Amino acid sequence: MLKLSGKVAVVTGGGRGLGAAISTALARAGAAVVVNDIDADVAQAVVDTIVAGNGRAVALAAAIGSSQAAQLCVDKAVSQFGRLDIMCTNAGILRDKVLWNMSDEDFDLVVETHLRGTFTCARAAVRKFREQGEGGRLLLVSSLAGQRGNFGQTNYAAAKAGIAAFARTWALECSRFGVTVNAVLPTALTRMAATIPAMQPYMTLLEEGRELPAEVRLGMGMGPPEDVAPLFVFLASQAAQGITGQCIGLGGGKLALWSHPAEIRTAYSDTGWTAESIAQIWASSVGARLETFGIPPM
């Protein structure tokens, strides 16, 4: 088992679902964990579970998004456990609606929590990592929706795509400080996933204690949150010290490395392009095969 003894982690949104699974897995590997959640009771319940298993953890109730909340997370780690080594930005909400029905509030709430919350928590953590001078780990939570787009998720897909871009940008900026930055793309049956109608039959199977079929665990790469948590332990460990700037998916029995955007076909004109010349060559060159989009139907 990979050990995180002596390490201190913050897990935002750590009181339920994936966050609770991550918090528990990091603690089981030996890390002391600050379990953040907007709901103090659920955060404390996770802490109680960790402590009952001889782990170390403390709860912190705060709504992630603001700089103040991010600093509270870092300060809690330092005041309780003396340092910070791992920041896991997991906190998130959903406000799904199609574009023409999405309100400003729907958009802003999701972007505030996912995108701004990832930024503020990562910034506060890296400032502490630099001060300590011993490196660190940023474990960001992105999504398939951020890679592929997803119907009804303008706000969520945009935020998660931004988080993938954060990982690539911060990997460049933070490498000289020994800080690695990676984005995890979890596919887990959580309370958030249960709001998607297609996921409800599989949630029912889990709630009834029944096994998910192979086409779900392997084909869809979908399972309970506990299936995803080991990736966070691995990325937080010394075994992953050379891995940074990556988008890595895990769910069910499927582990995947996602490609970064890259040019796939090009065309050149010495005299520049007109609309007519683009139309003339499009189908036979750059546009010979267009890219797919959207998460495949479940």
Out of 7, 142, 156, 237, the active site residue is 156
**Whether pLDDT at 203 is above 90:** no
CA 2 centroid distance within chain: 21
Is 269 annotated in the active site?
no
pLDDT band at 194 (very low <50, low <70, confident <90, very high): low
- Residue 79 CA to residue 76 CA, distance in Å, equals 5
CA distances from 292 to 149, 162, 164, 194 (A): 10, 20, 19, 26
Phi, psi (degrees; rounded to nearest 5) at 165: -70, -35
In the predicted model, what is the mean pLDDT of the chain?
Answer: 94
Out of 160, 175, 202, 277, the active site residue is 160
Out of 23, 76, 142, 143, the active site residue is 143
Q: How many residues does the chain have?
A: 298
Candidates 1.10.620.20, 3.40.50.720, 3.40.50.12280, 3.40.50.2300; correct CATH number of 8-258? 3.40.50.720
pLDDT band at 298 (very low <50, low <70, confident <90, very high): low
Is 143 annotated in the active site?
yes
Is 142 annotated in the active site?
no
Stretch 174-189: mean pLDDT, rounded? 94
Which pLDDT tens digit goes with each residue over 4-42? Answer: 999 999 999 999 999 999 999 999 999 999 999 999 999
pLDDT band at 199 (very low <50, low <70, confident <90, very high): confident
Return the domain boundaries, the chain. Answer: 8-258
Strand partners of residue 11: 35, 88
